Amino acid sequence: MTQPTFKIRLQGIHKSFGPKHVLTGLDLDIAEGESLVILGGSGSGKSVLLKHIIGLLQPDEGTVEVDGVDLSTLGQRQLIEFRRRFGMSFQEGALFDSMTVWQNIAFPLQRARPRIATADISARVEQCLESVGLQGVDDKVPAELSGGMRRRVGFARAIALQPQILLFDEPTTGLDPVMTAVIDEVINNLRRRLGSTTITITHDLTSAFRIADRIAMLHRGQILAVAPPDEFRASDDPRLQQFLEGRAEGPLTDDPPPQTTQVPDP
Amino acid sequence: MFRPFESFFLELGRTTQIFVRVLLWTFRPPYDPRQWLTQMVRVGIQSIPVVLLTAVFTGGVMALQIFTVLARFGAENYVGSIVGLAMVRELAAVLGALMIAGRCGAAMGAELGAMRVTQQIDALEVLATDPVHYLIVPRVWATTLALPLLIALADAVGIFGGYVVSVIVMGANPATYLDITFRYMDANDVMSGLIKAAVFGLLIATIGCSKGFHAKGGAEGVGRATTAAVVTGSIAVLVVNFFLTKLMF
């Protein structure tokens, strides 16, 4: 059952915001080098989960381990250093809107190595932009870019320090189907080039099946199932079927929330 | 029942926490001279017109009012002294700080609030940068440093405003007016005003940044953060001013 090496291991994660219990005992293992897609409806706790992996949020209960290190044992400064292993792209890109594209991508490089030469930065910025299929946008500010371009610049910024782990938060939400396909291809290319472990959260099924090695289904703060795309599609779990078919009626939307007592299959 | 108290102490706690983090991060590299310079220019240089306008009209109106009152018992020779002392000890610092709270405190609340709701602050953290270190440290110290300088200018301009009104409008003797203005003023009067100004700068920036930093809930949240930055900043200036005055005189 258990795979030999886990890049990331989440065990028994509980997280509440006030009275809202968002993650309710979540377990998830992510293997080195795999591309995991986490599917889930709106408000299922996808973004909260991602923020736990990178240490932006701390769980109320449970542990997050990355490369065998329990994140809760790290101090504030160590955690900041530790984050260099990660590259994260945000919904809408989260580019610094007071800076140009060039400055946005140069930012992590300058922060990591304050003495780096401008020529080296430029070379790396060009490389990163080329990896995401953009050119000639260096001097533009984020407001001048389209949604798809903004996200690709966000990717370029995320890979500037060649991270081992890439996190994508809803990379295709709000984009047209063609741009979605482009973004999916960019994600696959980046993964091939960097060999990084990739975690993508989305509710876009087409996109999920295009980029995933394994797909995990998140519902009401727990992982319902994790399986390779084909198995996932063939599953007879009525909850997965409801999500795949996009039906309004079914076990996912039943109230009150069904009590899942079993530990989900890793 | 205790909701208002609860939120008051929550806000006080948050602002104090931000201030402590600013202190802890101030002396840690990497330093970002460009951020510091940008903030100095925004708070210091770009606020000059508004602060000076406030000062010149306050000096002027003080001269008008005091002249009318003192004339009732024939003491109009002392207008210069009262206007001057009121400006340097109290009015320049407090009114200047209120203008800065409206101008810069609001800008900080709005800018950081917008960065928070568009996840730019999260992005900073992910890019191995402490947002307090990168965003708030330069803002707080730039404002703390810029405010006394601005207020020193405002002192001079306020006195000038009083002089112009007294001499031109009320027909006071120019030489006597200036002589009286500075005869009863010593360095401590001016210093106390400038120390107040520095404290006000610290308050306005820390509160403004804290409001923005903790903003949530989209555009509406940014609006709330901006309003709170101005209102809380201004009230803090007025309340702290009372206790500082009590302490220093």
Query: For residue A37, is pLDDT > 50?
Result: yes
Note whether A111 contacts B125, CB cutoff 8 Å: no
More confident site: B166 or A239: B166
Chain B CA closest to residue A88: B126
Chain A CA closest to residue B29: A114
Tell me: the pLDDT tens digits for A144-185? 998 888 988 999 999 998 899 999 998 888 888 888 898 899
pLDDT at B1: 58
Chain B CA closest to residue A163: B127
DSSP state of A263: P
Counting residues of chain B whose pLDDT is more than 70, the rounded percentage is: 99
CB A199 within 8 A of CB A86: no
pLDDT at A255: 57
Tell me: the pLDDT tens digits for A86-124? 999 998 889 999 999 999 999 999 888 888 888 999 999
**Which site among A47, A107, A118, A201 would you substitute to test the B interface, given the most B Cβ atoms closer than 10 Å to its Cβ?**
A107
The answer to ipTM > 0.90 is: no
CB < 8 Å to B30, chain A:
111, 114
Angle at B246 (CA atoms; ends B241, B247), nearest 5 degrees: 95
**Which site among A71, A88, A153 would you substitute to test the B interface, given the most B Cβ atoms closer than 10 Å to its Cβ?**
A88
pLDDT band at A256 (very low <50, low <70, confident <90, very high): low
Q: What distance in Å separates the CA atoms of residue A153 and residue A169, rounded to the nearest whole number?
A: 14
Nearest to B128 among A51, A84, A96 (CB): A84
pLDDT at B213: 96
Note whether A56 contacts B118, CB cutoff 8 Å: no
The stretch A8-29 carries a mean pLDDT of 89
Superfamily of domain A6-93+164-245: P-loop containing nucleotide triphosphate hydrolases (3.40.50.300)
Note whether A83 contacts B120, CB cutoff 8 Å: no
Chain B CA closest to residue A159: B127
Note whether B118 contacts A92, CB cutoff 8 Å: yes
At what angle are helices B187-213 and B137-164 packed, to 10 degrees? 140
pLDDT at A68: 87
Nearest to B126 among A81, A88, A95 (CB): A88
pLDDT at A3: 46
Tell me: the pLDDT tens digits for A199-225? 999 888 889 999 999 999 988 888 888
Note whether A94 contacts B129, CB cutoff 8 Å: no
Q: What is the 3-state secondary structure (H, E, C) of A144-189?
A: HCCHHHHHHHHHHHHCCCCCCEEEEECCCCCCCHHHHHHHHHHHHH
Nearest to B129 among A51, A76, A111 (CB): A111
Tell me: the pLDDT tens digits for B32-84? 788 889 999 999 999 999 999 999 999 999 999 999 999 898 888 899 999 99
**What are the residues whose beta carbons fall under 8 Å from the beta carbon of B139, sequence distance 6 or more?**
B39, B43, B108, B205, B208, B209
Tell me: the pLDDT tens digits for B122-171? 999 888 888 999 999 999 999 999 999 999 999 999 999 999 999 999 88
Mean pLDDT (chain B) is: 92
For chain B, where are the E strands, in sequence order? Answer: none
CB pairs under 8 A between A and B: 51
- For chain A, domain boundaries: 6-93+164-245
Note whether B126 contacts A114, CB cutoff 8 Å: no
CB B237 within 8 A of CB B230: no
More confident site: A250 or A98: A98
pLDDT at B11: 87
Phi first, then psi, for residue A202 (nearest 5°) are -160, 165
Mean pLDDT (chain A) is: 86
Which pair of structure tokens corresponds to residue A199?
């975690």
Q: What distance in Å separates the CA atoms of residue A251 and residue B177, rounded to the nearest whole number?
A: 86
Q: Which B positions 109-138 lie with beta carbon below 8 A of chain A?
A: 115, 118-120, 122-123, 125-130
- The secondary element (H helix, E strand) that includes residue A13 is strand A6-17
CB < 8 Å to A108, chain B:
127-128
Note whether B119 contacts A94, CB cutoff 8 Å: yes
Least confident of A1-15, A110-124, B81-95: A1-15
Note whether A90 contacts B119, CB cutoff 8 Å: yes
Is some CB atom of chain B closer than 8 A to the CB atom of A231?
A: no
Phi first, then psi, for residue A38 (nearest 5°) are -105, 115
Nearest to B120 among A80, A91, A96 (CB): A96
Note whether B119 contacts A91, CB cutoff 8 Å: yes
pLDDT band at A258 (very low <50, low <70, confident <90, very high): very low
Query: For residue A265, is pLDDT > 50?
Result: no
CB A169 within 8 A of CB A89: yes
Query: For residue A259, is pLDDT > 70?
Result: no
The stretch A11-38 carries a mean pLDDT of 89
pLDDT band at A261 (very low <50, low <70, confident <90, very high): very low
A9 — alpha (psi -120 to 50), left (phi > 0) or beta?
beta
pLDDT at A262: 45
Tell me: the pLDDT tens digits for B201-221? 999 999 999 999 999 988 999
Distance from CA of A124 to the nearest CA of B (A): 16
Q: What distance in Å separates the CA atoms of residue B138 and residue B122, rounded to the nearest whole number?
A: 19
Nearest to A111 among B115, B118, B127 (CB): B127
Distance from CA of B7 to the nearest CA of A (A): 15
Q: What distance in Å separates the CA atoms of residue B230 and residue B236, rounded to the nearest whole number?
A: 10
The count of other CB atoms within 10 Å of the CB of residue B101 is: 27
The count of other CB atoms within 10 Å of the CB of residue A48 is: 20
